[in-house]
Chains A and B, each alone.
Chain A
Amino acid sequence: MGTRILTVEDDDRIRQSLRLALEDEGWEVDEAATGEDAVERFAQHPADVVLIDLMLPGMDGFEVCRNIRRNSDVPILMVTARTDTHDVVAGLEAGADDYITKPYAPKELSARVRALLRRVRTGDSASPHQRFGDLEIAPQEGQVKRGGIEVHLTKTEFRLLCELASNPGRVFSREQLLERVWGYGYFGDGRLVDVHVRRLRTKVEADPANPRHVVTVRGLGYKIQP
Chain B
Amino acid sequence: MKRRPRGGLGRFALRTRVTLAFGLGTLLLSSLLVVLSYSVVRENLINERQSTATRQVFVNARVMRDALRTAEPDVPRLLASLETPAGSRPLLFQQGRWFAQSFTRGRDALPLDLRERVIGGAPATMRYVFDDRMALAIGVPIPAVDAAYFEVADLSELGETLDFLRFSLLGAAAVTTVAGAALGAWVAVRVLRPLSAVALAASAIAEGDLAIRLEGGSDTELASLAASFNEMAGALQERIERDARFASDVSHELRSPLTTLASSIEVLESRRDELSERGQAALDLLSADIERFTSMVEDLLEISRFEPGKGNLHLEPVWLAELVRYVLEAHHTTDDVRLVIAENAAEAFVSADKRRLIRVIGNLIENADSHGEGIRQVVVEGDNPVRVTIDDLGAGVDPEDRDLIFERFARGRGSHNRSGSEGAGLGLALVAEHVALHRGRVWVEDAPEGGARFVVELPRFDPSVPDDEGHQPLDQAVEEVT
Contact = CB atoms under 8 A, between A and B. Distances in A.
Nearest to B266: A106
A83 B298 CA distance: 10
Contact of B263 (A83, A106, A189): A106
Contacts of B354: 190
Interface string A173-192: 01000000000011101110
Interface stretch (B157-165, B196-204, B468-476): B468-476
Interface string B447-482: 000000000000001010011010111100110110
Contacts of B314: 190-191
B463 A106 contact: no
B358 A187 contact: yes
The main secondary structure of chain B at its interface with chain A is helix
A103 B259 contact: yes
A18 interface: yes
Given A11-B256, A14-B256, A102-B256, A189 B355 contact: yes
B70 interface: no
Nearest to A84: B312
A86 B314 CA distance: 10
A149 interface: no
B281 interface: no
B326 A220 contact: no
Contacts of B255: 81, 102-103
B313 to A, nearest CB: 8
B189 interface: no
Contact of A103 (B258, B264, B316, B466): B258
A70 interface: no
Contacts of A143: none
Nearest to B263: A17
A64 B289 CA distance: 35
A106 to B, nearest CB: 4
Interface stretch (A33-41, A113-121, A154-162, A211-219): A211-219
Interface residues of B, number: 48
Nearest to B356: A84
Contact of B260 (A11, A82, A216, A219): A11
Interface in B285-343: 291, 294, 297-298, 301-302, 305, 312, 314, 316-317, 322-323, 326, 330
B349 interface: yes
A21 B266 contact: yes
B144 interface: no
B252 interface: yes
A221 to B, nearest CB: 9
B263 A186 contact: no
Contacts of A84: 302, 305, 312, 355-356
Given A219-B474, A220-B477, A220-B481, A17 B326 contact: no
Contacts of A191: 314
Nearest to B311: A86
Contacts of A218: 317, 466-467, 471-474, 477
Contact of A171 (B301, B330, B481): B481
Given A81-B255, A106-B266, A218-B471, A13 B302 contact: no
A86 B306 CA distance: 13
B270 interface: yes
B264 A17 contact: yes
Nearest to A109: B263
B482 to A, nearest CB: 10
A151 interface: no
B262 interface: yes
A202 to B, nearest CB: 16
Interface in A80-98: 81-86
A214 B270 CA distance: 45
B71 interface: no
Contact of B262 (A81, A106, A174): A106
A219 B480 contact: no
A218 B463 CA distance: 9
B112 interface: no
B474 A103 contact: no
Interface string A15-48: 0111011001000000000000000000000000
Interface of A: 11, 13-14, 16-18, 20-21, 24, 81-86, 101-107, 171, 174, 185-187, 189-191, 216-220
Interface of B: 252, 254-264, 266-267, 270, 291, 294, 297-298, 301-302, 305, 312, 314, 316-317, 322-323, 326, 330, 349, 354-356, 358, 461, 463, 466-467, 469, 471-474, 477-478, 480-481
14 contacts: A11-B259, A13-B256, A14-B259, A17-B259, A20-B267, A21-B263, A24-B270, A82-B302, A102-B255, A104-B259, A186-B326, A217-B480, A219-B461, A219-B463
